[in-house]
Amino acid sequence: TLRWLGVLRVSREQEESGLDSEFGLKAYSRNNDVLQRCRTVSALLSENGFSALDLFDALVSLRGVVYRTFTPQAADHKLEGEVKDILQHLSYDSLGGQDGRPHLAFLSHHKADAGDAARIFVDTARRLLASQPFLESAGLGPRAEEAVRRVKPQDLVWLDSTNLKELPTLLDVVASSCNHILFLTRAALERPWVLAELVAAHTLGKYVCLVLLEWPGATEERLREFQFPAALERTIHEWAWFLSKEAPARHKRDGEGELRRRVTTAASSWHTSASADSSHHIRRTPSEDARFSRQLPLTAMSLGPAGPRSGKAAKRVPLPSVALQRPESYKASVSSLAEEE
């Protein structure tokens, strides 16, 4: 009726998409949610001696980690094989002894999505580590085998089964563990405590083992799965955007350009698209993973809520599904960040 009367001044496409599309209300709501979540995590990190920049570095480092898979609903032989594969690629060098770590690994996970899977994994891992046939077949070496025998089975893989209410206590356990196992599920990289545990492990130089949980065939269960690498890139994208908005003023007292330096350093490590690198699925030892992480190209990210900043119009667009971009757009984003500082 309004169009017939000549009062409605929008096209049919604009009318169908609604005012949310015209004024970017959905994008604003999404960006506001991301901003509030990042602020909450940043405050938690600050309380425990870390910063949002430390988290950014830790997240970027995950691009160089070769992930393993774990299927909690698999048959016994497949389940056991996946746990063996993860255990064989952990570092046993500093386990046990007077000066050694009391825990082989700290298991970090989001309880709502991975609580049951974590319990299955830990029970299986403890059983295998107490098994002489596994120790002999795993090729860990005499010293590692002796270290495993000296540690109580329940202390080898640490899982928070008592619902600890104090994060510093958990971070102390992270520090006293040789390895950091991170279970990736849909919201794992949004959980404040999971991110704090990751930052602590990264800062302390722990070997980080990413485990991608899978529920093949179960439609409802698969909603809990982590979409790798898109979800990781989206998280890095969000934190880069948060830092571009909040960090410059906060870190001026520590020296201007710190954020730009870190982001530029990440950009300079680009060699080729990580999505085309098939070595993400190659099994390697911790030392090989460390060497690989220095060689793996870092994919580009945009430093705005809607991608590379090219004017006010870009701010109206909601966060997209993150696609790997070319270095040119990445460098353009760094330039816009420099202008803001």
SS3 117: helix
Query: Which tens digit of pLDDT belongs to each residue from 68-103?
Result: 999 999 999 999 999 999 999 999 989 987 677 999
Mean pLDDT of 311-315: 34
Mean pLDDT of 117-127: 96
pLDDT at 96: 82
pLDDT at 222: 84
- Its sign, for the CA torsion 44, 50, 53, 55, is negative
Q: Rounded to 5 degrees, what are φ and ψ at 299?
A: -70, 155
pLDDT, the chain, mean: 75
Torsion-angle region of residue 71: left (phi > 0), alpha (psi -120 to 50) or beta? Answer: beta
pLDDT at 246: 79
Query: Which tens digit of pLDDT belongs to each residue from 129-167?
Result: 999 999 988 888 888 999 999 999 889 999 987 777 899
SS3 59: helix
CB count within 10 Å of CB 270 equals 16
CA distance 90 to 92: 6
Task: Tell me if 173 sits within 8 A of 24, measured CB to CB.
Answer: no
Which residue reads 């901003």 in tokens?
A: 35
Pairing of strands 157-158, 103-108: parallel
- Range with lowest mean pLDDT among 145-149, 206-210, 212-216, 257-261: 257-261
Mean pLDDT of 284-297: 43
CA distance 186 to 64: 20
Query: Which tens digit of pLDDT belongs to each residue from 233-283?
Result: 999 999 999 998 875 555 555 544 566 666 556 544 433 333 434 334 334
Task: Tell me if 101 sits within 8 A of 178, measured CB to CB.
Answer: yes
Q: Rounded to 5 degrees, what are φ and ψ at 67?
A: -80, 155
Q: Rounded to 5 degrees, what are φ and ψ at 23?
A: -105, 0
Mean pLDDT of 302-315: 37
138: amino acid identity, one letter: A
pLDDT at 18: 56
Is the pLDDT at 110 greater than 70, yes or no?
A: yes
pLDDT at 218: 66
Q: Rounded to 5 degrees, what are φ and ψ at 191?
A: -80, 125
Q: What is the 3-state secondary structure (H, E, C) of 122-176?
A: HHHHHHHHCCHHHHHHHCCCHHHHHHHHHCCHHHHEECCCCCCCCHHHHHHHHHC
Which residue reads 């690198």 in tokens?
A: 277
CA distance 104 to 296: 27
